Amino acid sequence: MTADIRRLAKALGYEPQDAELLEQALTHRSASAVNNERLEFLGDALIGFVIAEALWDRFPAADEGRLSRMRASLVKRESLAKLARDLRLGDYLRLGAGELRSGGHARDSILADALEAVLGAVYRDAGFEVARRVALSLFHAKLEQTDASRAGKDPKTRLQELLQARKRPLPEYVVVAIDGDQHDQTFTVSCVLQDDDLSSRGIGTSRRRAEQAAAELMLEQIRDV
């Protein structure tokens, strides 16, 4: 077992029997024909089910639509990429030369896919109950922060409603930067409150997603003020 796999396993709270599965989970298709795509397929299904079950137990009064919206928020690409960064998965990834040059180790899509593959590897190596425990541990903080009453409203809507309730001007969203190739762009958007000289910046794979991320950060700044 390599030092990287040992560190990752420790962070996951899991002792692998077959370290090669975790190594495969960290191998992007640009680096090898034996890569993480099949494990990603399993991990995606596993995460979807585990989070759906957790939400079912946590919110017994929520209907199917609200449960679906909460699950979508928890398992979306940006959320998975954030968890992958918390695990420092980018440090362990095996990428081809082109992806290395273009900063693939920091790209949301690659990080999210790798996290799914890692959980797929845990499932194949140790079974469902261990994989479920690892997944719930990773998602614990996000599950604790999930509020069923907010599930139907995105951050921009919630920010707008909060500002209107306080009789404040609506925010302005400005695209600060667009990076990456045409087919794989990353947008950076600033959310500005003109009456308070406050701003936040969000990053996403589309302008809309970046605006939502910026709005979420702005909400965190002003919610308790």
Q: Which of 101, 133, 148 is the last residue of a domain?
A: 148
* Annotated catalytic residue within 116, 125, 211, 216: 116
172 is in an annotated binding site: no
44 is catalytic: yes
Domain check: are 92 and 22 in the same one?
Answer: yes
Question: The domain that contains 179 carries what CATH number?
Answer: 3.30.160.20
Q: Are residues 201 and 98 in the same domain?
A: no
Residue 36 has pLDDT above 60, yes or no: yes
- 66 and 125 together in one domain: yes
- Number of structural domains the chain divides into: 2
- Residues 133 and 190 reside in one and the same domain: no
Q: Are residues 61 and 87 in the same domain?
A: yes
Active site residue 220: no
Which position among 44, 78, 125, 216 bears the catalytic label?
Answer: 44
Q: List the one residue out of 164, 166, 174 whose CA is nearest residue 200.
A: 174
Residue 94, domain CATH: 1.10.1520.10
Indicate whether 121 and 16 sit together in one domain.
Answer: yes
Residue 136 has pLDDT above 70, yes or no: yes
- Residue identified by tokens 């190739």 is 181
Mean of the pLDDT values across residues 97-125?
Answer: 93
CA-to-CA distance for 51 and 45, rounded, in angstroms? 10
Does residue 127 sit in the same domain as residue 78?
yes
Residue by residue, DSSP assigns 35-73 as: -SHHHHHHHHHHHHHHHHHHHHHH-TT--HHHHHHHHHH
Same domain, residue pair 198 and 141: no
**Both 159 and 144 in a single domain?**
no
Q: Is 40 annotated as a binding residue?
A: yes
Residues 142 and 179 in one domain: no
116 in a known ligand binding site: yes
79 and 142 belong to one structural domain: yes
State the pLDDT at residue 222.
86
Per-residue pLDDT at 182 exceeds 80: no
Q: How confident is the model at residue 1 (pLDDT cuts 50, 70, 90)?
A: low
Range of the domain at 80: 3-148
Q: pTM higher than 0.95 for the full model?
A: no
